[in-house]
Chains A and B, each alone.
Chain A
């Protein structure tokens, strides 16, 4: 995102961007509460909320019992009664016990009460692999939730986007699932503008312009796709990389505009291919822009297995890599 020259900024990693944004929210709005496992005394397992409890007190930085369904359920009740809860699920893999509270309750509160009750709730959770997280500390969960009307889902990849979208999520009057890729937490650094700003939920961002192929991705894989696209540039190939940033609502126009220009579409994600975000994007583009295409749509995504294994070869086999991505991109550009 463009930063005005006069505007001050600092270089932060993704953990610091989340931390700074949460801190400002706690500081500026006393209705804000943070709740989750180990968010208080320990300051979150990645130290995102370190020392928050000292400044804001245990009433607003709540160490909950290990009970994910009620972490979200209690946050829903807080939101219905005027607080602005930011609930944390320690790892996205642990969100399953809270599935009903997210899908059956938070997403339907406004709808089922005909607008009488609302649920301004943020659910933050670290997801994704490449960190030797094994079967239960590495999953991607977005496809399980993007089917659900009433929810918004955000998965930014860059620190400035993290801050702008987390602010947007906190300000949003409806429930937002905020996904943080944990491999990017300390790996990815970038300029982050000072002060309060928001990035609209539902707007994608072209991270690299190109005209021979559109690559749509989100999370860690945006960084790898950019690496691959840069490698191809050295070979004389021009690839456009779109960072979705928001998964629901999704920026359909940005995807269609790019595809109509490049005439080729590749979707890359870390989540499973079958029924993943890429399936919806390909269906949408096939419905709306089939005759603008010069090549079949391709999805480069995880194999149809539950998750990556702990052993390194199992993790590497599940995950893609900048090299693999570059290979698929080459094939498509040459098609």
Chain B
């Protein structure tokens, strides 16, 4: 027997999220999946040399992005953060410019896809070298604190693999010493390319390291966008109001291979992947929203169509744009024109 709207609404623990915000989270998740798939399709079509997906991270990233305050906060993401990038304001078109390496891409087609950068959006430029961006985020948080900018915080993310790096540790330690306005969000998808968690660390609960640094730590279900939002929001609010840093860990799973250049069946089993697929956060959250009466089946259908339309338009438009000029290779090395000394 279907529950009434009111009953279900009371049953859904929404942590202050409005219907519109819940819909926006779900739309973000749909768009992530569509854009991910598009990247892989374009790679198979031979149109782009490389693509990388974040399937399995949709709920975590869409929920976390909802706790980000545009125009105030800074995001220091890593290369598997499509949902955070679009969640803080990057358009599907900007994502496609990155995938196609076009001249109008924020990086001018210099970096791999997924290495987003947008000063306007508060998204810090980063490289492919894992954990190198974490001290950058800490430095940005230090600048905020030095300038007494209450109400702002830095959200820095990484995968489980990055938590093995020395700079990860150094950054946590420094952030704790200075009680910086920063939230370290670990997206634990349980695989560092081919290396499983138990070969990466003796203590698989990454958030427990927080105690060692002297900051709050918390773990949450990264397949649940509302739970994610709640934990990230609380940590960001703490950071914004002078309460210092937090280490929070969302547990999810990497459904796809590491990238289009990886075959995950060489190191993990189909069974393992399909076991986790049963918990796929996208259909799961769709069901939650339907059950709660936040959306109807028709709404969902319309959203899917709209996301596909947006992806198609972004793909066509980005593909039609020019590559950077060969002479662009020489730009932006230093301020001013390139003057080789030899």
Contact = CB atoms under 8 A, between A and B. Distances in A.
Given A33-B146, A118-B335, A280 B171 contact: no
Interface stretch (A36-44, A68-76, A309-317): A68-76
Interface string B108-137: 101100010111000011010100101111
B321 interface: no
A28 interface: no
Given A74-B139, A79-B139, A60 B174 contact: no
Nearest to A117: B125
B333 A111 contact: yes
A83 B107 CA distance: 23
Interface string A99-137: 011001100111111111110000000000000000000
Contacts of B137: 77
Given A78-B139, A149-B333, A113 B146 contact: no
A70 B332 contact: no
Interface in B229-247: none
B106 interface: yes
B174 A173 contact: no
Given A80-B125, A113-B107, A113-B117, A105 B132 contact: yes
B146 A70 contact: no
Contact of B341 (A97, A116, A117, A252): A252
B306 interface: no
Contact of A116 (B125, B145, B171, B333): B125
Nearest to A288: B342
B244 to A, nearest CB: 15
Given A113-B106, A249-B339, A81 B143 contact: yes
Interface string B139-181: 1111111100000000000000000001100110110010000
Interface in A56-74: 59-60, 64-65, 67, 69-70, 72-74
Contacts of A161: none
B143 A78 contact: yes
Contacts of B166: 67, 69, 97
B139 A67 contact: no
A300 interface: no
A79 B115 CA distance: 20
A181 interface: no
B112 to A, nearest CB: 10
A79 B74 CA distance: 14
Contacts of A115: 331-332
B138 interface: yes
A100 B136 contact: no
B104 to A, nearest CB: 10
A113 to B, nearest CB: 4
Interface residues of A, number: 49
B334 interface: yes
A29 to B, nearest CB: 13
Interface in B164-212: 166-167, 170-171, 173-174, 177
A112 B139 contact: no
B335 A249 contact: no
B341 A202 contact: yes
Contacts of A249: 339, 341
Contacts of A33: 146
A79 B107 CA distance: 19
B140 A77 contact: yes
Given A65-B174, A80-B136, A117 B143 contact: no
Contact of A114 (B74, B110, B132, B342): B110
B335 A67 contact: no
B139 A77 contact: yes
A76 B133 CA distance: 9
A70 B333 contact: no
Contact of A74 (B108, B124, B138, B334): B138
Given A64-B174, A69-B166, A248-B341, A105 B139 contact: no
Contact of A110 (B134, B334, B339): B334
Contact of B334 (A67, A72, A78, A174): A174
B170 A67 contact: yes
A73 B332 contact: no
Contacts of A105: 127, 129, 132, 136
B174 A74 contact: yes
Nearest to B135: A73
Given A65-B170, A78-B140, 17 more contacts: A69-B166, A70-B171, A72-B135, A77-B76, A77-B124, A77-B137, A78-B139, A80-B140, A82-B143, A83-B142, A101-B167, A104-B127, A108-B127, A112-B117, A114-B105, A118-B335, A202-B341
Interface of B: 74, 76, 105-108, 110-111, 115, 117-119, 124-125, 127, 129, 132, 134-146, 166-167, 170-171, 173-174, 177, 331-335, 339, 341-342
Closest 5 pairs between A and B when the two form their complex, measured CB to CB: A77-B139, A73-B135, A114-B108, A77-B136, A70-B170
8 contacts: A67-B174, A73-B134, A73-B135, A81-B139, A111-B332, A112-B125, A152-B334, A249-B339
